[in-house]
Structure 1
C-alpha cells in the first residue's frame, strides 16, 4: 500500500477531530493510560531506535553540523521513558478541559446563553530533536479532544516512528486518523499552506525555525522564538539562595528554553556573590562571559553585545553587574525574549515592582527559571511555551488547546420580539448554571 499523502492525512485528521470531540473524558483518559502502558512495555524497542538516531547525530556533531545540546535533547533512557509515562498518566488524571461552562446568561425567560469550552480542532505541531515532545503533544491533544499532525526533526526519525507506532497501536479504538505523522521537509510546506484545514500550528525549536514557520503560513501560530531568560540577584537577596537558584537555572538542564542565559547582579553584592556562583559554575563546566565590572571581580571570557540576546542552550552564561533593579529591568526589556525571568530578593515590595514591570510570559520571585514548564505548573505536560499575548501564554497545556462555543437554549423566541418601538427588553442576567442540551426542559 502506498504512503498516504500529507493532504490525505490532514483530511483524515479533520474528520477525526469531529469524532474525538464527542468522546467522553473517561474514554480519552483510558486511551492515555493505554499509551503509558504500551510505552512501559516497549522500552527496549524504543531505546534501540533511539540509539540509531543518537549514533547518526554524534557523527554530525563531530562534523560540526550538530551541537552537543541537540544531541543531549535527543537521548532517551529508561529513566527518561519512565518520566514520559508518568507525564502521560498525569495528563490522563487532569480535569476534563471540555464542556466547562464559562458563563451562563439569561437573555429572557426560557432564553439562556451558555459559553462552553470545546477543542480547537486540528493542531499542527512541528518540533525538533526531542522525541519525548511527540508523546507530550499527542497526549495533550488526545485529552483535549483535538486531532494532531506530528512533524518531528529528521535527527529523531527512528525514535519518532517507534513512539508514533506505539501510540497508534494503543489507541486503535480511537477515531481513525486522530494522530498523524509526517516526516519530509516538503510535508511541512504542504501543512503550512492548508489554512482551511489546520486550526493552529505550534512549533518547538530554534528561534530561526519558529520564525520561519511564522513567516510562511497564514494559520495562527502559537509559540516562542527564543528563550533568553534572566535571573536578577538584588542587593536584598539571600546570596546562598541566589547561588542555588542561578546554578539550577543554568546547570540542571542547559539545553532547554527555560534555562537562564543571562545573570544580572546588583553592584552592592557583586564582590561577595560573583565568587560564590563562579565556584559552582566552574565545577559544573559552565563557560562564563562577563562585562568589564564582572571581570574586575572574577575571571571570565569577555561578554559581547551579541551575548546579551543569545540563547545558548548549553553550559554558557553571560553575566552583567547593574547599578539598580531599574537597570536590570531595562536590560531585560532590551534583550529579553519575554519568556521567563526571575528576581532573587528578600524585599517583597521590590519583587512586586519587578514582576509587574516585565512583559514576560512568566516572572518568578526567589525561584529558578526552570520551573517554567507545563508539568511543573500542574498542567500535566505542555505542547510548547507561548510568549505571545493572545489565546494562550507561557506553558501551553490542556486549557491552551481549547476554545469556546456559544450555545443558546430557547423556547421558540424570535428576534422580532426584541426589535422595534414596542421591543421587549432583554434581561441579560448572569446566573450559576451549566449547559446541557435541552436544559430548559429539565
Structure 2
C-alpha cells in the first residue's frame, strides 16, 4: 500500500474503537473506586490495599514490554495481534468480575491474586489491540483518526463508569458489580465488532526473529522514539499531578466538593468535543504543532487556576475544560506520531516492533501515575496539610503549586523538547500535504 492510502471507513473506525470502552470502564473503576472499596467496605485497610496496588502497578510496568515483544514475534494466519486479544479477553473478563464483585469474607491474598490477574490480562489484551492502530494504516492522517476513535470510546467508558454509581444510588459493591457486568458485555461486543467489520492487514516479516533483549535494545536505540517518549513522560507527569489533585483542589481551594463530579464531567466532555480540533490542526500544520497548541492551552487554564479561590465555580469550569481539551491531544498526538515512527521503520524493512514500542510508551505512562503519590502527597503531609479539615493559606499555596504551577513548568519543558522534534525533520511531523 502506498503512503496516503486510507484503509478504513468511518464505520470501521468506530468498530475498531469500541473495545476501548470496556477497558476504560475497568481501568477507571480500578483507579477511582476499587482501592477505597477494598480498604473501607471490605475492611482490608488502606496500607495493605495500597501496597497491593503498588506491587500490581510495578508488575504491570514490567509485563508491558514482555507482552509487546511476544506479540510482535507472534506468527499466525490471523496476524500477530488477534490471537492475543481473543485468548486474553476471557481471562480479563474473569479478572474483572472477581475484582469488582468479590465474595464476602475475602482477605488481602485474594486481592493480590485477583489484581495481579487483572493487570496481566489487561496488558495481554490492550497492548496487541492498541498496536493495531499503529500499523494498520499507511495514511499519516488516518493514524490520528484511529487514535481519536480510541480516545472517544475511552471517554465514553470513563463517563459510564462514573455515572453508574450515581444512577444506582446504592452501595459501592452493587455499583461495582454493575460496572463489571456492563464492561464484560461491552467487551464481547467490542471483539465481535472488530472481528466482523475491521480489516486485518499485516506485514509478513521474513527476517529472523530477534531475541527479547535484542528486540528491546533496537527499540530503545531509536532516537525519534526516545525523543517522543521523553516529551510524553514529562507531559503525562504533569497530567497525573492535575488529575490526582483535582479533588483536593476543588474541595479545599474552591470549597465546592459537591461539584467534583460536574468538573470531571466537564473535563471528559471537553476531551471528546475537542478531538476534531487536534486532528484538524495536525492536518493543517503538523502533529507536534497540534500538541504544542494543547500544551499552551492547558498552561493558560492552569495559570487561571492559580488565581482562583473560594466560590470561583465558573473559573474552575474553564480550568476543567482546558485540562480536558489538552488531555485529548495528549492521548492522540503522541500515539499518532508513534504510528508514524512504526510505519517509517517498516517501510525501511525493520522487524515488526509496533507492540514493543507501544508497550514501552505504556510503561512510561503508568510510571507517571505514581508522581502524585511519590511527590505531592508526601510534601503535603510534611507541611501538615489536612485532607479532611481546614487549612491555612500556606497549606493551600503548596497544594496550588503541585496542582497548577509545577504542571505548568513541566508542560513548558515538554513544549521546548517538542519544538526540537519539530525542527528535526519531517519523519515525526508529516504535514497536511504528506
TM range (shorter): under 0.3
More helix by share: 2
Tell me the TM-score normalized by structure 1: 0.25
More strand by share: 1
RCO comparison, higher one (Cα < 8 Å, 6+): 2
